A and B are shown apart, each in its own frame.
Chain A
Amino acid sequence: MALKIVKGSIDRMFDKNLQDLVRGIRNHKEDEAKYISTCIDEIKQELKQDNIAVKSNAVCKLTYLQMLGYDVSWAAFNIVEVMSSSKFTYKRIGYLAASQCFHESTDVIMLTTNQIRKDLSSPNQYDTGVALTGLSCFVTPDLARDLANDIMTLMSHTKPYIRKKAVLIMYKVFLKYPESLRPAFPRMKEKLEDPDPGVQSAAVNVICELARRNPKNYLSLAPLFFKLMTSSTNNWVLIKIIKLFGALTPLEPRLGKKLIEPLTNLIHSTSAMSLLYECVNTVIAVLISLSSGMPNHSASIQLCVQKLRILIEDSDQNLKYLGLLAMSKILKTHPKSVQSHKDLILQCLDDKDESIRLRALDLLYGMVSKKNLMEIVKKLMLHVDKAEGTTYRDELLTKIIDICSQSNYQYITNFEWYISILVELTRLEGTRHGHLIASQMLDVAIRVKAIRAFAVAQMATLLDNAHLLTGNTQHSGICEVLYAAAWICGEFSEHLEDPMATLEAMLRPKVATLPGHIQAVYVQNAAKLFSTVLCGQEGAPADSKVAQETSQLLIDRLPVFVQSDNLEVQERASCILQLVKYIQKLQQKDVEVAEEVTALFAGELNPVAPKAQKKVPVPEGLDLDAWINEPPSGSESEDEGRKTKGKAVFAREESRHTKPRYTEVDEKELAMRREVRKAEQANNPFYIKASPSSQKVYQEAVGVEHIPVVQIDLSVPLKVPGMPMSDQYVKLEEERREKNKADRKKKDKKKRREKGRQRRGDSGPESEEDITPAHMVDIVTEEMPENALPSDDDDKDPNDPHKALNIDLDKPLADSEKKLPVRTHRPDEVLKSPIEDAEGLEVTSEPKKKSGKEKDKERKKGKEKKKKKHKQEEGEDLMEAGSEEPVQSKVTNDVAAQPPASTPEASDLDFWLSNAPVPSDPQEAAAVTDAPPASTPDAASGVAAVVPDSEPEETKSSKHKKKKQKKEKDKKKKHHHHHHSDGAREESVQNGTVEDEEPLPPMSNYAMLAENSYIKMVCDIQGNLHDGSQVVVSVIFENKCDSFIKSMEFNVMDSLNSKLQRPEGAGPHDSLTVPFHLPPGISSEARFIFSVQSIVMPQKLKGTLTFIVKTEDSSTHEKLDFKLHFTCTSYLITTPCYSDAYAKLLESGDLKGSSLKLEGINQPFHHLLARICFHHHFSVVERIDSCASMYSRSIQGHHVCLLVKTADQTVSIDAKCDEPGLLRNVLDEIKLTFSQC
């Protein structure tokens, strides 16, 4: 035995260690690979020995070789051996090697579970630490599941060193094993307040990382983070928190308002640039989330822009870079504030640092206006010429195109100039973006009809000089522009001056060296040109010779293409060749053929919006997944083929320039490809369709007489040697503007003389509107299918691992969740009420205070409706504990029956947020919160959630006091569980999913209120979720006339039951001022709050809107009467309900029934349900085939349950509610809804 040890250590002395290996490699520079392969052989020998020291030395060397790019996965088992050594030295080497080369598909990983578990519980903290570090790099779903509990225990380890590592690694565990998130989260939250700053920082790190992906689940932590932000001094933690707030504010505008002040303070006080920068960034995010243009925020914007300017002017390039980066974020919402720093940004374009130039380029995008576009692009073109390195030049090129084409060519006043710019860009050598230039050329030529003649002339020149483009660089992408040039010349050949010459240019033998897809376009368009030539010639019958020569030219030149190895080219060429041969025969018989040939290419091609095909709704009754013919069994390849085809028709991205591949393919595949191609051609706006009827339709639809005819100013020669053409345009444009300006001045002077007095400031710099386009252009908009679906589905990556972590963390833990579930026991699909969870939680959260028996007693007392105060509070506690709103446990039922003021309906978060200064005027508040006009249930519920802010202050303060007391009490109890029912959001998710699955006809909540020739009012009425006596009326005012509408006043005659809430001090008949003016064509939304007493009956209120219509020379006072209709539906609030709670509710027998039959309903059942959900604020509890149960709750807590059944066009609704009057009216309203559609 002793001998063996001695022998081992002697062996070791002769082994190479890591240093020897490195030295050896350095000494074998010439034959490194050979040397390393001998080393690897040695290592293999060493690994075979029993001595762990030798093994670990070998593994250590392997780790080094792995860094050099050698695959060492063959030694995985040896690595595991070294990991399991009892000595720390070797263990560390093993874990390091594992962390460098293990990954999910390393099979020996499953052998490590027990070893890692042993190390995690080792008495030596460094064993544990090393295991955690290693595990963080190679954790797999299996390891995460098996070790989650062990790691969770370590989160409460006595040593902070272990705690922080355990906290950090939990993030990896969550990613691999999402089921662990909910059980582990309470502990994670505790760690935010760990005494050790390192642990705290780790917890902040993890939660920020989680929240960044699914921010809405972490909104309820905002108060805690806010506290940390104001107390922490660790800049790392502060930066993370501030970044997190940046992600949260878009979800909760009130949070933003609360943040502005402390952030501004930090900006002023901190000396750390990193912190300052993140503060500025988050302030920007806040400002973006708040409504723009609020006067009190302009100071914050100014502060940000000012600080950023300082950063940009700094000599430190890093600060400069970041300053520009943040500036581009402001640009999106507050372009004006950035535009004033144009000088600075243009200066950055000349910076020697490419990163900075790129950022400055990003900013330029938002800085252009009609006035300065040409100037800026000219500057960029200079940079293009100077630029070294193709990447930066390509970037410049795309930016120029982006800038010019943005918002539908908004800033281009002269398209001739733009075409010249594009043509100039084609002279760039070696750019990758030929296709981009090409698509711009096509787009402009197709959509700007007025420019076609000019574009065609330019393209003809391009074609003529094609050899310059293709030159020696065959593979450069620039030849793509020839694709566009050929197509434009062919399609709009009527504008060509000399079609014959262009035709000749297109049939040069050199064309055959172009890529196949371009040749195909050449061939096709040569045919179009041919038809034009024929047309031109036969008009003058004297000279039929030219026409015949043209035919001969085609017959001579086309055979080259017929022999092309590209199928597309070959097919088209042989078709056309035969056609021309036939025509030639006719020509020789002196038959007039021009008209018929032209008919081949008649009709106009309209631009189609890029997503148009995607938006074509799937016709009803068409099931894309159903087989047309049952497949012969076991033919999987066909299955795939069919799928692709289906995709191509209904969801495929348009690909205009598909490059055919030259791989060998079997016949089946060829057939499949042909199918795909056909579908693609049907898709391709530039492909001439076979069916003549559709072309006719186009012709009629467009109407030739609408094409504006433009006189091209021929003072510009088409080619100017020596000077780029675009410069000429710049010059001309300047002259033109000067002239316009002079003209205008003259006119002004005349006017001034006539009128006597004039406003001052006219002689200042010309404003945007003053710049008239050089010629009127008609930019054709892109076509969309008639009944395109409005929804723009987001293109989120379905494989994002963070999707699985979108888990509601506010829901209390169920008993079963206390321990981490084993993978096989995935949570049930069926929604279960968290009622048991609530009880379970209570047992654990207050076990020392009360015994189970006592608690039972209390619950019984609760049942008996005890009125003693502290008991009531107990009830409230319970309610809070199980606070997911829809819980219908008996206890909560009782509480809900109490006057609404005492129920803690508003969540802690709302409470915390509402501490922010509340504007006293309800309208102002409404304007501040400014949600977009709600047209979906989602947005509508958003409004409901936001409105509590605008409660009058008096009712609020008393409520707050109560809550504060309670909160303090909660704190004393160390009651850490924050339950923020996010009812509104959750409900929208539910309804949202219903809608996502099955496309619905568009619905709007907004009903017409009143309308006259000046103004239109539509309104939406919603109950206030947080106050049983409030109804919020959102009114959209739309200015229909072309005058300015101002001083709008809104007034309603109050009834005994319903009253408009007016600001303090206003009389009961005073009207409310609408807080905005309406320029012509603009619509805007204001919100009014009404208090109601009884909600059993519908109400109608008469009201009047008075306003002043201001035209240029006069203003008139106008008024519009309206009737506000508070339906019973508007008192209902969409509230989700779990099926078991629902069943209990029905069993309780407190509800009275009523029923309704609707006949002749022939819409799909899911549409019917969606309508009820949408118009009447119900949510679906359960749906089985043609039967569904639905639930809703009134603002005063009445439960309304529906059972909807359908059988051949008859819908029967059985309903139950604890208030029969309300129910009757709601049913009547449902009936009305369906009689209307």
Chain B
Amino acid sequence: MIKAILIFNNHGKPRLSKFYEHYSEDTEQQIIRETFHLVSKRDENVCNFLEGGMLIGGSENKLIYRHYATLYFVFCVDSSESELGILDLIQVFVETLDKCFENVCELDLIFHVDKVHNILAEMVMGGMVLETNMNEIITQVDAQNKMEKSEVRL
């Protein structure tokens, strides 16, 4: 199970947070801060796994992250997920964003967090991986965007 998916920038500003278990808003912010603290102090060429912070399950959970330019993509998962598999999934996620936003950058995420959520919803649902095929994800996202546009025209 995936417990949470967080995206924040190099300064710890959250760009997307998706918790698959309920926490209060305050706790969520603390988790984001704690995770940022854990992840940001790591060097560039160290491994991408580390034990979860105390707030989100401690050592039972793992943080698996990737750092792209100004953004950290962090998945907090339990032992049923494959570490390398999740790393691939993050890659798929980022590539999908890249396709949908055409050369994605932090600004896209800042201003269109709702769209990012919609893309993520086609990949992960309720903490479980729904789809890993990028083309399938993009097809579904596009189809929904088309629907939205046709509604606006009406």
Our verdict on whether A and B bind, yes or no, reads yes
Chain A interface residues (CB < 8 Å from chain B): 18-19, 22-23, 26, 60, 63-64, 66-71, 87-89, 92-93, 96, 100, 103-104, 124, 126, 129-130, 132-133, 136-137, 161, 164-165, 168-169, 171-172, 198, 201-202, 205-206, 208-209, 212, 235-236, 239, 243, 273-274, 277-278, 317-318, 320-322, 352-356
Q: Is the CB of A89 within 8 A of B117?
A: no
Query: Given known contacts A169-B126, A236-B129, is B88 in contact with A88 (CB within 8 Å)?
Result: no
**5 shortest interchain CB distances as A-B pairs:** A136-B126, A274-B84, A317-B47, A103-B22, A353-B46
Q: Is the CB of B82 within 8 A of A243?
A: yes
Q: Is the CB of A68 within 8 A of B117?
A: no
Select from chain B the residue with minimum beta-carbon distance to A23: B111
Q: Is the CB of A356 within 8 A of B47?
A: yes
Q: Is the CB of A274 within 8 A of B85?
A: yes
| A residues near B148, Cβ cutoff 8 Å | 88-89, 92
Q: What distance in Å separates the Cβ of A486 from its nearest Cβ neighbour in chain B?
A: 32
| A residues near B83, Cβ cutoff 8 Å | 274, 277, 318, 322
CA distance A320 to B43 in the complex (A): 16
Select from chain B the residue with minimum beta-carbon distance to A237: B132
Chain A proximity mask over B3-16: 1 for CB below 8 Å, otherwise 0: 00000000000101
Q: What distance in Å separates the Cβ of B96 from its nearest Cβ neighbour in chain A?
A: 15
Contact of B147 among A88, A137, A168, A355 (CB under 8 A): A88
CA distance A356 to B50 in the complex (A): 9
Give residues 11-38 of B contacting A (CB, 8 Å): 14, 16-18, 20, 22, 24-26, 28-29
B143 at the interface (CB under 8 A from A): yes
Give residues 70-88 of B contacting A (CB, 8 Å): 80, 82-85, 87-88
Q: What distance in Å separates the Cβ of B43 from its nearest Cβ neighbour in chain A?
A: 7
Q: What distance in Å separates the Cβ of B129 from its nearest Cβ neighbour in chain A?
A: 7
Q: Is the CB of A239 within 8 A of B85?
A: yes
B side interface size, CB within 8 A: 52
Query: Given known contacts A22-B111, A93-B114, is B14 in contact with A67 (CB within 8 Å)?
Result: yes
Query: Given known contacts A69-B25, A169-B125, is B82 in contact with A278 (CB within 8 Å)?
Result: yes
Q: Is the CB of B130 within 8 A of A171?
A: no
Query: Given known contacts A126-B144, A137-B20, A318-B87, is B130 in contact with A165 (CB within 8 Å)?
Result: yes
Q: What distance in Å separates the Cβ of B74 from its nearest Cβ neighbour in chain A?
A: 14
CA distance A22 to B13 in the complex (A): 13
Q: What distance in Å separates the Cβ of B101 from its nearest Cβ neighbour in chain A?
A: 14
Q: Is the CB of B113 within 8 A of A67?
A: yes
Q: What distance in Å separates the Cβ of A390 from its nearest Cβ neighbour in chain B?
A: 13
| A residues near B129, Cβ cutoff 8 Å | 201, 205, 236
Q: Is the CB of B111 within 8 A of A19?
A: yes
Chain A proximity mask over B117-138: 1 for CB below 8 Å, otherwise 0: 1100100011111111100100
| A residues near B110, Cβ cutoff 8 Å | 22, 26
CA distance A64 to B17 in the complex (A): 10
Q: Is the CB of A92 within 8 A of B144?
A: yes
Q: Is the CB of A126 within 8 A of B147?
A: yes
Query: Given known contacts A22-B110, A87-B151, A352-B43, is B128 in contact with A171 (CB within 8 Å)?
Result: yes
Contact of A355 among B50, B133, B140 (CB under 8 A): B50
| B residues near A64, Cβ cutoff 8 Å | 113-114
Q: Could you jot down 15 A-B contacts, CB within 8 Å?
A: A63-B113, A64-B114, A88-B148, A96-B117, A132-B125, A164-B131, A165-B125, A168-B128, A169-B126, A201-B132, A209-B80, A212-B80, A235-B85, A318-B84, A355-B46
CA distance A432 to B132 in the complex (A): 43
CA distance A60 to B114 in the complex (A): 8
Query: Given known contacts A169-B125, A352-B43, is B84 in contact with A273 (CB within 8 Å)?
Result: yes
Query: Given known contacts A104-B22, A274-B88, A320-B47, is B28 in contact with A69 (CB within 8 Å)?
Result: yes
B48 at the interface (CB under 8 A from A): yes
| B residues near A353, Cβ cutoff 8 Å | 43, 46-47
Q: What distance in Å separates the Cβ of A724 from its nearest Cβ neighbour in chain B?
A: 30
| B residues near A70, Cβ cutoff 8 Å | 25
Q: Is the CB of A63 within 8 A of B114?
A: yes
Q: Is the CB of B82 within 8 A of A198?
A: no
CA distance A353 to B28 in the complex (A): 28
Query: Given known contacts A69-B25, A133-B125, A320-B47, is B80 in contact with A243 (CB within 8 Å)?
Result: yes
| A residues near B125, Cβ cutoff 8 Å | 132-133, 136, 165, 168-169
Q: What distance in Å separates the Cβ of A746 from its nearest Cβ neighbour in chain B?
A: 52
B1 at the interface (CB under 8 A from A): yes
Q: Is the CB of A69 within 8 A of B26?
A: yes
CA distance A225 to B18 in the complex (A): 32
| B residues near A320, Cβ cutoff 8 Å | 47
Select from chain B the residue with minimum beta-carbon distance to A139: B126
Q: Is the CB of A89 within 8 A of B151?
A: yes
Total contacts A-B at CB 8 Å: 141
Q: What distance in Å separates the Cβ of B13 from its nearest Cβ neighbour in chain A?
A: 9
Most buried by A among B46, B82, B85, B127: B82
| A residues near B17, Cβ cutoff 8 Å | 67
Select from chain B the residue with minimum beta-carbon distance to A208: B80
Q: What distance in Å separates the Cβ of B61 from its nearest Cβ neighbour in chain A?
A: 14
Q: What distance in Å separates the Cβ of B94 from its nearest Cβ neighbour in chain A?
A: 17
Q: What distance in Å separates the Cβ of A37 from its nearest Cβ neighbour in chain B?
A: 15
| B residues near A69, Cβ cutoff 8 Å | 25-26, 28-29
Q: Is the CB of B25 within 8 A of A322?
A: no
| B residues near A243, Cβ cutoff 8 Å | 80, 82
Contact of A198 among B16, B26, B85, B131 (CB under 8 A): B131
Q: What distance in Å separates the Cβ of A133 from its nearest Cβ neighbour in chain B?
A: 5
CA distance A88 to B26 in the complex (A): 31
| A residues near B118, Cβ cutoff 8 Å | 92, 96
Q: What distance in Å separates the Cβ of A712 from its nearest Cβ neighbour in chain B?
A: 42
Q: Is the CB of B80 within 8 A of A161?
A: no
CA distance A168 to B45 in the complex (A): 36
Most buried by B among A87, A235, A278, A318: A318
Q: What distance in Å separates the Cβ of A242 from its nearest Cβ neighbour in chain B?
A: 9
Q: Is the CB of A317 within 8 A of B45?
A: yes
B69 at the interface (CB under 8 A from A): no
CA distance A353 to B17 in the complex (A): 27
CA distance A320 to B46 in the complex (A): 10
Query: Given known contacts A69-B29, A274-B85, A318-B49, is B111 in contact with A205 (CB within 8 Å)?
Result: no
| A residues near B136, Cβ cutoff 8 Å | 198
Chain A proximity mask over B28-67: 1 for CB below 8 Å, otherwise 0: 1100000000000011011111110000000000000000
CA distance A1092 to B128 in the complex (A): 54
Q: Is the CB of A171 within 8 A of B49?
A: no
Contact of B144 among A88, A136, A356 (CB under 8 A): A88
New contact pairs (19) apart from A126-B143, A136-B126, A205-B129, CB-CB < 8 Å: A18-B111, A22-B110, A22-B111, A26-B110, A67-B14, A69-B25, A92-B118, A96-B121, A104-B22, A129-B140, A171-B126, A171-B128, A198-B136, A202-B130, A205-B128, A209-B1, A318-B48, A318-B49, A355-B50
Q: What distance in Å separates the Cβ of B127 from its nearest Cβ neighbour in chain A?
A: 8
Q: Is the CB of B152 within 8 A of A89?
A: yes
Select from chain A the residue with minimum beta-carbon distance to B131: A198
| A residues near B113, Cβ cutoff 8 Å | 18, 63-64, 67
Select from chain B the residue with minimum beta-carbon distance to A356: B47
| B residues near A89, Cβ cutoff 8 Å | 147-148, 151-152
CA distance A22 to B114 in the complex (A): 12
CA distance A168 to B1 in the complex (A): 12
CA distance A352 to B14 in the complex (A): 28
CA distance A126 to B141 in the complex (A): 10
CA distance A293 to B84 in the complex (A): 31
Q: Is the CB of B46 within 8 A of A354?
A: yes
Query: Given known contacts A92-B118, A318-B84, is B130 in contact with A168 (CB within 8 Å)?
Result: yes
| B residues near A136, Cβ cutoff 8 Å | 125-127
Q: Is the CB of A322 within 8 A of B46?
A: no
| A residues near B50, Cβ cutoff 8 Å | 355
Q: What distance in Å separates the Cβ of B30 from its nearest Cβ neighbour in chain A?
A: 9
| B residues near A88, Cβ cutoff 8 Å | 144, 147-148, 151
CA distance A129 to B123 in the complex (A): 12
CA distance A1088 to B22 in the complex (A): 56
CA distance A89 to B154 in the complex (A): 12
